[in-house]
Amino acid sequence: MNKARWLAACAVLTSASAAWSQAVTLPPPQNVLQLSSDATVEVQQDQLSMTLSTTRDGADASAVQAQLKSALDAALAEARKSAQPGQLDVHTGNFTMSPRRSREGKLTGWQGTAELILEGRDFPRIAQTAGRISTLTVGNVGFSLSREERAKAEAEAQGQAIDNFKQRADELAKRLGFAGYTLREVAVNSHLGGPIRPRVMAMEAAKMAADAPLPIEAGKTSVVVNVSGSVQLK
């Protein structure tokens, strides 16, 4: 066979192979069941974040900035007296300066804001520290779940969700007339649900004594784990 005929034969074989591959399709899987299950674990929020802030106005930007710095420095000095890693962590938040203008666009002055953030697990320590700071006022209080508590709650919810998935798959297989099943694919996802009950907090710190603790109460949140996938009935 000369070279031209050999190349032609190869081309025919390649074309036939491609056509055969396109014509042959695998049948869809039979007796495959899609299902999912959820599990929810309620857990007490153990992390408190409290933002204290102050605002200053003035005609001179440098003067406004100096006033903010003085108020923030005093607040930092007081907060650091009670700081303890993990229990009460202290760090600054936003420090902003913005111009004030008239309707005609003329610069009339400056306004600035400074923030200090207290956060940690020791709620009484944080609240009492905030109450002793006189140069800033409480602007926001938030509760959350620490990484350690979320990991424990996720592990518990995950175990429950997997057990629910297996139980449901076994029940459905038997109801459908099959002896059992084997796993084909599975996905596990988790997320935080909403608060179980509203948090209680006092935002009127200015009306309280300088050294009085702020009344706060953390609520519960939920950790939800979803297990979804498919099983082969047999």
Q: Encode pLDDT of 172-204 as tens digits.
A: 999 999 999 999 999 999 988 766 544 444 344
Residues 39 and 59 in one domain: no
Instruction: Extract long-range pairs of 206-215: CB within 8 Å, 24+ residues apart.
Output: 206/137, 208/131, 209/131, 210/131, 210/132, 210/134, 211/128, 211/131, 211/132, 212/131, 213/124, 213/127, 213/128, 213/131, 214/50, 214/127, 214/130, 214/131, 214/138, 214/141, 215/127
pLDDT tens string 19-37: 445 555 667 778 899 999 9
| DSSP 8-state assignment for residue 104 | T
Residues 39 and 152 in one domain: yes
Residue 24, burial from CB neighbour count under 10 angstroms (0-12, 13-18, 19+): exposed
Residues 97 and 122 in one domain: yes
Residues 162 and 202 in one domain: yes
Of 87, 111, 144, which one is at a domain's C-terminal end?
A: 144
Average pLDDT of the chain, as a whole number: 84
Domain count, the chain: 2
Whether the pTM exceeds 0.95: the reply is no
Q: 217 and 201 in contact (C-beta within 8 Å)?
A: yes
* Domain assignment of residue 82, yes or no: yes
Provide the CB-side half-sphere exposure for 100 (13 A, CA): 12
Of 109, 144, 179, which one is at a domain's C-terminal end?
A: 144
What 3-state class would DSSP assign to 178?
coil
* Domain assignment of residue 209, yes or no: yes
Residues 216 and 178 in one domain: yes
Residues 57 and 76 in one domain: yes
Owning domain of residue 84: 47-144
Kind and range of the H or E run holding 42: strand 32-44
* Domain assignment of residue 33, yes or no: yes
Of 116, 144, 172, which one is at a domain's C-terminal end?
A: 144
Query: Tokens 């408190």 sit at which residue?
Result: 48
* Domain assignment of residue 13, yes or no: no
